[in-house]
Amino acid sequence: MSQYQSVKGTRDILPEEVVQWKYVEDIVNTLAGLYGFREIRIPVFEYTELFQRGIGSTTDIVGKEMYSFQPDPNGRSVTLRPEMTAGVMRAALQKNLFSLAPVHKLFYIGELFRKERPQAGRQRQFSQFGAELLGVSSPAAVAEVITLMMHVFDSLGLGGLKLRLNTLGDTDDRLRYREALQAWFSPFHNLLDEASKERLEKNPLRILDSKNPAMQELVAGAPRLYDYLKASSLDDFRKVLFYLDERSIKYEIDHRLVRGLDYYCHTAFEVTSSELGAQDAIGGGGRYDALARELGSSVDVPASGFAVGIERLLIIMEKQGLFATIPQDSPTVYLVVQDQALADHGLSIAWQLRRAGIKTEIDLASRSMKAQMREANKVKASYALFLGHLEYETGQYSLKNLVTSEQTTLSLEAVLHFLHEQGQSKPHFS
RNA sequence: GUGAUUGUAGCUCAGUUGGUUAGAGCGCCAGGUUGUGGCCCUGGAGGCCGGGGGUUCGAGUCCCCUCAUUCACCCCA
């Protein structure tokens, strides 16, 4: 064990795993593009107030999970981003994107930081991809965002996911419901657990999705937000469901689904997987019409978005054996050099092959031919190209197909030609 | 922040009621004749048994502390 180890809740992604990450990222890039979303990259840290305003000071994220610090003695407090939405909206407002066009469709892939106790599927540094559709208040926008998210899951081949939806109504609806909830819970004040008591004051809706069985029992009899929705809110939600039905996207309606962030309104959704253990949410999102105003915008910017946890996604893919289909990035040629005397010549040939766009591996440690062959086999090279003294003198090289074990003797030009014919060369810079 | 769990070679783990030089499999390295892999065989390197203190003639094995890990609660991706 080395003296230093990675910080609690962080981990290294080694090359074998990076392949998996890129595979996922490629699909995200492709599909987001297919739906007309363009990538945005924003800073990993922001002024702390952005998150306090944007996410809500009553949330756990802001209350106890942020990594905040002062960049200099007189500086304002800054915070490592614990989520993306607030930052994306900030960027859009700061850059006046809405004066260029009323609608912006953005997606992102990036790392987030929350100071939580690590456990299965939860780390202090983790990654999400997500999309934000800004400037559209139609239920079509949420449907669009959900559809993209589910399309990604589908393309990756994930099975056994459950999409749950709820509607939180608009501000009026929630205000009236909030009062109704407080009135209903008040007589049971003594039965509430610590967290719920606090929520009763600050954000009674959050009592609804408590995991505490005792609370759930209590909640079962509580009034439903659904019954407090005005007609237009109800229509909005029904329209979302209509779109999902039309696209054959399966879902469940869950009246207790509230979501932890204050900025949501109308449709909220969450996707869970039974493969994940206790932290079973792989993605979620919803509509957040009030966020822009909250951040000081002078105009309304209705918005919808989702975020998906990449580490959790990869856990599911691993468990479902979905990595087998990822193509291996193995070399085409392993150049086997007889001995030290030919090492420099070997390097020269390797360089020529690479210039020709042929993925070539060579042993820089001058090990025995046997060792080189074992290595060639281990890295799954397609061919071994032998450079011995005979080849050096005659200019005729032995090329061995490592799958069929067939071996032929060719000039270097013929080797290049042959590999090009085989489609083994790739586009390159020259 | 709370609770529980585990901590022996790079990895996965054995290590009996505390008793001599701490083991296996995989991986790694090198060989198995003269320039060639996968299988097989042989050999080798690699462990202050997480760290500190204590009990004991003697501790990987018992006790305490500490650090780390993992899982769960809270909450979220």
One domain for residues A246 and A385: no
Query: What range defines the domain where residue A155 resides?
Result: 15-170+230-319
Residue A84 tokens read as: 């993306």
pLDDT at A7 over 80: yes
**Residue A325 lies inside a defined structural domain of this protein:** no
Distance between CA atoms of A178 and A32, rounded to whole angstroms? 37
Mean pLDDT within A352-359: 95
One domain for residues A285 and A342: no
Q: Which residues contact A235 (CB under 8 A, 6 or more apart)?
A: none
**Residue A185 lies inside a defined structural domain of this protein:** no
Tokens 């009553």 — which residue? A58
Distance A3 CA to B53 C1' (A): 22
Q: Which pairing describes strands A68-69 and A303-309: parallel, antiparallel, or unpaired?
A: unpaired
pLDDT bracket for residue A260 (50, 70, 90): low
In contact, A175 and A198? CB cutoff 8 Å: no
**Residue A312 lies inside a defined structural domain of this protein:** yes
**Residue A55 lies inside a defined structural domain of this protein:** yes
In contact, A317 and A363? CB cutoff 8 Å: no
Q: Which residues contact A364 (CB under 8 A, 6 or more apart)?
A: none
Distance A13 CA to B39 C1' (A): 33
pLDDT at A48 over 90: yes
Mean pLDDT of chain A: 89
Per-residue pLDDT at A173: 87
| Smallest CA–C1' separation from A373, nucleotide | B37
pLDDT bracket for residue A223 (50, 70, 90): confident
pLDDT (tens digit, 9 = 90+) per residue, A92-149? 999 999 999 999 999 999 999 999 999 999 999 999 999 999 999 999 999 999 999 9
Distance A10 CA to B54 C1' (A): 36
| Smallest CA–C1' separation from A398, nucleotide | B36
Among A293, A319, A345, the domain-final residue is: A319
pLDDT (tens digit, 9 = 90+) per residue, A180-216? 888 888 787 777 777 777 777 777 777 777 777 777 7
| Smallest CA–C1' separation from A315, nucleotide | B77
Distance A6 CA to B51 C1' (A): 18
One domain for residues A95 and A140: yes
One domain for residues A279 and A337: no
One domain for residues A286 and A337: no
Q: Which residues contact A424 (CB under 8 A, 6 or more apart)?
A: A332, A358, A359, A382
One domain for residues A24 and A157: yes
Q: Which residues contact A223 (CB under 8 A, 6 or more apart)?
A: A177, A180, A181, A184
In contact, A223 and A125? CB cutoff 8 Å: no
Residue A185 tokens read as: 């819970």
| Smallest CA–C1' separation from A309, nucleotide | B77
pLDDT at A428 over 80: no
Q: Which nucleotides of B are covered by protein (CB under 7 A)?
A: 1-3, 28-32, 35-38, 50, 68-77
Distance A9 CA to B54 C1' (A): 34
**Residue A294 lies inside a defined structural domain of this protein:** yes
One domain for residues A234 and A379: no
pLDDT bracket for residue A3 (50, 70, 90): low
Among A319, A350, A376, the domain-final residue is: A319
> Considering its fold, how many domains does chain A have in total?
2
Distance A3 CA to B69 C1' (A): 16
Residue A271: give its domain's CATH number: 3.30.930.10
**Residue A345 lies inside a defined structural domain of this protein:** yes
List phi, psi (to 5°) of A79. Answer: -140, 135
Q: List residues bridging with A23 in a β-sheet.
A: none
| Smallest CA–C1' separation from A310, nucleotide | B77
In contact, A301 and A136? CB cutoff 8 Å: no
pLDDT at A296 over 80: yes
One domain for residues A91 and A136: yes
One domain for residues A64 and A153: yes
One domain for residues A287 and A416: no
CA A11 to chain CA centroid, Å, is 16
**Residue A187 lies inside a defined structural domain of this protein:** no
Mean pLDDT within A26-39: 98
**Residue A273 lies inside a defined structural domain of this protein:** yes
Distance between CA atoms of A349 and A357, rounded to whole angstroms? 13
| Residue type present at position A224 | R
Residue A411 tokens read as: 């000039």
